[in-house]
Each structure stands twice: as C-alpha cells, then as structure tokens.
Amino acid sequence: MKNVTDIKYKILEKISKDEAEKAIATILKYIGEDPNREGLLETPKRVVKAFQEYFSGYLVNPDEFLEKTFGDVEGYDDMVIQKHISIHSHCEHHMAPIVGVAHVAYIPAEKVVGLSKLARVVDAYSRRLQTQERLTMQIANSIYKGLKSHGSAVSIDAEHQCMTTRGVLKENARTVTNYFTGSFRDSENLQKRFLTYIKD
C-alpha cells in the first residue's frame, strides 16, 4: 500500500488546491480577519495542508492492513488486547477535534495480525469526520471481519472539543463508547474481562 503522503488526495480531484485556499481566505474574512495581513498570508495554504493530514483516512482502506496475518501461534485462542491507542479525529457536526484513546481486542480463530496493524486500523477510521459511536463500531467490525476472528471488542474514551471549548463548555467531560462482536457480544464474562484489563 502506498503511503498516504504519496497519494493525490481525493478532495483535490474534485476541487483545486487554489479553490480550497480561497475558501479558507473567505472564512478568515467571515470571522473578521484580514487574510492579507502578514501573519495570515500563508494560513490558507497551511490549513489546506493540515486538512490533508487530518482527513487522510478517506484515502485508506483499513481492511488492507489486516490482510497479512501469521498462523504460527501454537493454538493461542485467548484475547489479544492493545491498549491506549491514541485517537485524533474530528466531529462531523462542528469539525472540532476529538482526542482520546482506543482499546482494542480480538480473539483469533487461527491467525493473528501484527500489533501495529491494529493501530493503523484505528488511525484510518479516526482520520475522517466522525461520530464516536460510529468510529467504535467501524473499528470493531473491521477487525472482526478482516481477521475472521471469533470476536472483537473496542472501547473509546475521548474528549470532544465541540463540548469542551464551545457550546456547553464542560471542560472535564469525556465520552466512553463500547462495541462488541462475535464471542464478545455473546459473553458477558468476556466483556467484563476486557473492560477489567483496559482499566488503568
């Protein structure tokens, strides 16, 4: 798979970079700024470049990260857990940052996947406009189906800056979502074990 920085962004296939930069300049005017003052001359270019990073997940197929697996696990059939995977996303309602951590687990059927690939799946779905609920489900379903595992579990604990820096201004508010598939969905004991293991 090509690195996302080597790929022409989908957004640039529909609208030119120049048009995007002009749109940012228009927003600067809308908020009462002068896009021609020295400190803001390069801002539209920087914002467009930042957006390419923030939303690079649209160019990635997360399932491809799960294609290379390893079968030499000597019958291991308990859960594999990866904790504290950092999340940087943006809410689709205000385009405000969502910052937090994801905890991911799966029970292998016959094969396991490299641990970095779990984090890449999380990153691919995070770098899109999201709701936390959908993000949690997308990660869990991708791992469950992509690895043909017995089950998967995902828990996300995140701060939504659309709540903490605007609106109701609840600085300490955090949102927690959980989603279970397969054997995790069917077993309350597995759910409890997972939630116990991810506690700090």
| CATH number of the domain within which 14 lies | 1.10.286.10
22-26 long-range contacts (CB < 8 A, ≥24 apart) are: 24/48
Cβ-in-10-Å burial (0-12, 13-18, 19+) of 121 comes to buried
SS3 label, residue 43: helix
pLDDT tens figures, 19-38: 999 999 999 999 999 999 99
Shared domain check, 53 and 94: no
Active site residue ranges: 91-94, 132, 160, 162
pLDDT tens figures, 98-119: 999 999 999 999 889 999 999 9
Shared domain check, 142 and 162: yes
pLDDT tens figures, 114-170: 999 999 999 999 999 999 999 999 999 999 999 999 999 999 999 999 999 999 999
Q: Say if residues 107 and 183 touch (Cβ distance below 8 Å).
A: yes
Place of tokens 């979502």: 177
Last residue of one domain, picked from the residues 14, 42, 57: 57
For residues 79-93, b (16+ Cβ closer than 10 Å) or e, as one string? Answer: bbebeebebebbbee
Work out how many domains the chain is built from and give that number.
2
SS3 label, residue 35: coil
Q: Say if residues 143 and 66 touch (Cβ distance below 8 Å).
A: yes
Q: Say if residues 79 and 107 touch (Cβ distance below 8 Å).
A: yes
